[in-house]
């Protein structure tokens, strides 16, 4: 099985980016190794109050589905701080890490999709 990475650098809209993210969730369910990296403005997507509807599920539900399937969901602490966001506002299934940690995880992925 492949180790797939998905780097989100901005908030998703109900377009191709959100569809790609839903497909990544399906890959995790099918036992592919999946890592998701939230950096820059992508960190807004991990807030607990994000109820954006993406193909019938809100984004928090998709994150939880990924985590339940064993995906590694990482968010950049420096990117949170730069936007004045608090760690306690992040969904519980997301791990807050350094940019260096994310860079190392990206290097381990076979393929990385960036949006």
pLDDT in tens, 15-62: 556 677 777 777 877 888 889 999 999 888 888 666 565 556 677 777
Query: Which two three-digit tokens encode residue 61?
Result: 């539900």
73 or 115, which is more confident? 73
> Which domains can be identified in the chain, with CATH numbers?
3-9+34-114 (3.40.1260.10)
Say if residue 69's pLDDT is above 70: yes
Q: What is the mean pLDDT of residues 1-13?
A: 78
47 or 79, which is more confident? 79
What pLDDT sits at residue 1? 72
Q: What is the mean pLDDT of residues 88-101?
A: 91
- Burial status of residue 2 (CB atoms within 10 A of its CB: 0-12, 13-18, 19 or more): exposed
């Amino acid at each position: 099985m492949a180790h797939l990475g998905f780097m989100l650098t901005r908030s998703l809209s109900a377009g191709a980016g959100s569809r790609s993210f839903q497909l990544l969730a399906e890959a995790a369910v099918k036992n592919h190794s999946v890592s998701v990296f939230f950096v820059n403005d992508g960190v807004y997507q991990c807030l607990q109050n994000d109820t954006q509807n993406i193909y019938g599920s809100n984004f928090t539900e998709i994150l939880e589905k990924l985590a339940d399937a064993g995906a590694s969901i990482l968010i950049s602490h420096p990117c949170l701080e730069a936007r004045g966001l608090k760690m306690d506002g992040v969904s519980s299934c997301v791990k807050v890490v350094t940019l260096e940690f994310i860079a190392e995880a990206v290097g381990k992925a076979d393929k990385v999709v960036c949006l």
